[in-house]
Amino acid sequence: MERAVYEQMAEYDQKHWWYRARREVLAALIERSVNPPKGAQILEIGCGTGHNLPMLGQFGNVEALELDEEARSIAEDRLGRSVMSAPLPELAGVPEGSFDLVGAFDVIEHIDDDHAALASIARLLKPGGKFIMTVPAHQWMWSAHDVVNHHKRRYSKRRLKKLIQASPLKLERAGYFNSLLFPVAVAERLSSKVRGKEDVDLKLPPKPLNTALEKSFAAERHLIARLPLPPGLSLFAVASAT
């Protein structure tokens, strides 16, 4: 990703509605669809500044992996110990067969060979261990935001399911989230393209709007593990080691 993206992540990951609400949604998904064992060994791949690590720590003992040196330093402060550095799909030095849960949240879309990435991740899991991933949805939503984040692709639900089904993992669930705000996002994205001006910088909205957006997105935590959500900005998948 561009350096500015990491800088914005470090500045806003505790305040911006998207980060805050997504953590709540992911926590609900993990609790209800993954249900890690007590004392679970957990790995987050591509942890960025470590903003998900305290949330993951509710479910077990957390390790993390991040390539960017500055982001990794912030993550280490939050985790209280070293964060590994190993690229996908190689994951050299990461112990195989060691984790009950591996998470990759908006990571796989950055990797040239997503099939090789999932094959490597499968090797990290204990028998019966779970993998949870999120990716951006809808290739037709491609924008300058994807470019500055160095995305290789956005995913359809069908493509995501086929990716996992072609891997050593067993697909358990796949679906959309960030659905309630999807119509607003589509309208904004199309308007930006018509104007020929796409704003790629992450900005903190005024507090009342930030709070309203957070509540709207976070409301999906009550739904995501119970019923399929309509098309949204993102996709998730849960898979298990066979």
For residues 24 and 6, what is the distance between their CA atoms, to the nearest angstrom?
Answer: 21
- Check residue 183 and report its DSSP letter: H
Give the pair of three-digit tokens for residue 156: 């359809």
Q: Give the pLDDT score at 153.
A: 98
pLDDT band per the 50, 70, 90 thresholds, residue 199: low
pTM of the model: 0.94
Supply the range of the domain harboring residue 223.
3-241
pLDDT tens per residue across span 92-111: 999 999 999 999 999 999 99
- CATH number, domain at 79? 3.40.50.150
The answer to whether residue 142 scores a pLDDT higher than 80 is: yes
Nearest Cα residue to 1 out of 103, 147, 141, 153: 147
Return mean pLDDT, the chain: 94
Q: Give the pLDDT score at 189.
A: 81
Between 76 and 201, where is the model more confident? 76
pLDDT tens per residue across span 130-141: 999 999 999 999
Q: CB under 8 Å to 196, separation ≥6 — which residues? A: none
Between 59 and 144, where is the model more confident? 59
- Check residue 84 and report its DSSP letter: B
The answer to whether residue 90 scores a pLDDT higher than 90 is: yes
- Check residue 2 and report its DSSP letter: -
The helix (H) or strand (E) run that includes residue 65 is strand 60-65
For residues 37 and 221, what is the distance between their CA atoms, to the nearest angstrom?
Answer: 21
> What proportion of the chain, given as a percentage, has pLDDT over 90?
85
pLDDT tens per residue across span 11-58: 889 999 999 999 999 999 999 999 999 999 999 999 999 999 999 999
For residues 177 and 22, what is the distance between their CA atoms, to the nearest angstrom?
Answer: 9
Q: Give the pLDDT score at 107.
A: 98
Q: Give the pLDDT score at 2.
A: 72
Number of structural domains (the chain) is: 1
